[in-house]
C-alpha cells in the first residue's frame, strides 16, 4: 500500500522521501525519483508530512518511538498521517506524543486496497481535531 501511494505522489510531482524497514524495498521508488531515508528520524527531518503505512502496532512503535524514530524530528507544523491498521490506543499515544512537540497526527484509514493505492483512488476516512485547534 505504502509504495503504491508513494509512487502516486512522485507521479504528481511531490518531492517524496521514503523509508522502509527492509531498505531494498525502496530501490524501485528511488529509481523513480524518491529520496531514501536511512531512519524514520531522517525521514521526518526531510518532510513536512509523513504518511505511515506499516503492518501493525509494533511496527508503528518502531517507526515513531524507537531511538531513531520520527518523534525526535517532530516539530511545530509537522504532520503524521496514520494509514496503518492500529488500535485507537496506539493512535492516541502517537498523537499525544507528537502534540507535546507542537506537531499533530490524523488517523487516515483507507478503503480501496492495493488497486486503489496503485490507481490513486483510495478513499480516506480521517479522524483528528478540526484545523482551528491545531498548531
Ligand atoms: N492491503 C490493503 O488493502 C489495505 C487497505 C487499507 C489499509 N491497509 C493497512 O495498511 C497497512 C499496510 O498494509 P500492506 O497491505 O501494505 O502490508 P504489507 O505489504 O505487508 O506491508 C507491511 C509494511 O510494514 C512494514 N513492517 C512490518 N513490521 C514492521 C516493523 N516491526 N517495523 C517496521 N516496519 C514494519 C513492512 O516492512 P518490510 O518490508 O521490512 O517487511 C512493510 O513495509 C496495514 O496496517 C494494513 O492493515 C491495507
Q: Provide the residue ranges of all domains of the chain, joining segments of one domain with +.
A: 2-128
Residue with CA closest to ligand 1 atom 42: 54
Q: Is the pLDDT of residue 28 over 60?
A: yes
Q: What's the confidence (pLDDT) of residue 130?
A: 79
Q: Is the pLDDT of residue 2 over 80?
A: yes
Cα–Cα nearest to 48, from 29, 74, 10, 69: 74
Mean pLDDT in the chain?
A: 95
Average pLDDT of 56-76? 98
Tell me the whole-structure pTM to 2 decimals: 0.95
State if residue 2 touches ligand 1 by the CB under 6 angstroms criterion.
yes
Cα–Cα nearest to 76, from 94, 40, 101: 101
Q: What's the confidence (pLDDT) of residue 132?
A: 65
Q: In this structure, are residues 25 and 17 in contact, taking their beta carbons and an 8 Å threshold?
A: no
Tell the CATH superfamily of the 2-128 domain: NAD(P)-binding Rossmann-like Domain (3.40.50.720)
Q: Is the pLDDT of residue 109 over 60?
A: yes
State if residue 53 touches ligand 1 by the CB under 6 angstroms criterion.
yes
Cite the DSSP H helix spans in the chain: 2-11, 27-31, 40-45, 57-65, 88-100, 113-119
Residue with CA closest to ligand 1 atom 11: 84
What the block records as the C-alpha cell of 116 is: 486503489
Q: Quick one: which atom of ligand 1 is closest to the CA of 83?
A: 10
Amino acid at each position: 500500500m505504502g509504495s503504491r501511494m508513494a509512487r502516486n505522489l512522485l507521479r504528481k510531482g511531490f518531492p517524496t522521501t521514503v523509508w522502509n524497514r527492509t531498505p531494498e524495498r525502496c530501490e524501485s521508488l528511488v529509481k523513480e525519483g524518491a529520496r531514501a531515508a536511512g531512519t524514520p528520524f531522517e525521514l521526518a527531518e526531510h518532510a513536512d508530512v509523513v504518511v505511515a503505512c506499516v503492518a501493525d502496532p509494533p511496527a508503528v512503535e518502531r517507526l515513531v518511538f524507537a531511538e531513531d524514530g520520527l518523534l525526535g524530528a517532530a516539530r511545530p507544523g509537522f504532520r503524521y498521517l496514520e494509514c496503518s491498521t492500529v488500535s485507537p490506543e496506539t493512535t492516541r499515544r502517537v498523537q499525544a506524543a507528537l502534540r507535546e512537540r507542537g506537531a499533530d497526527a490524523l488517523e487516515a484509514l483507507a478503503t480501496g486496497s492495493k488497486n486503489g493505492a496503485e490507481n490513486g483512488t483510495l478513499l480516506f476516512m480521517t479522524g483528528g481535531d478540526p484545523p482551528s485547534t491545531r498548531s
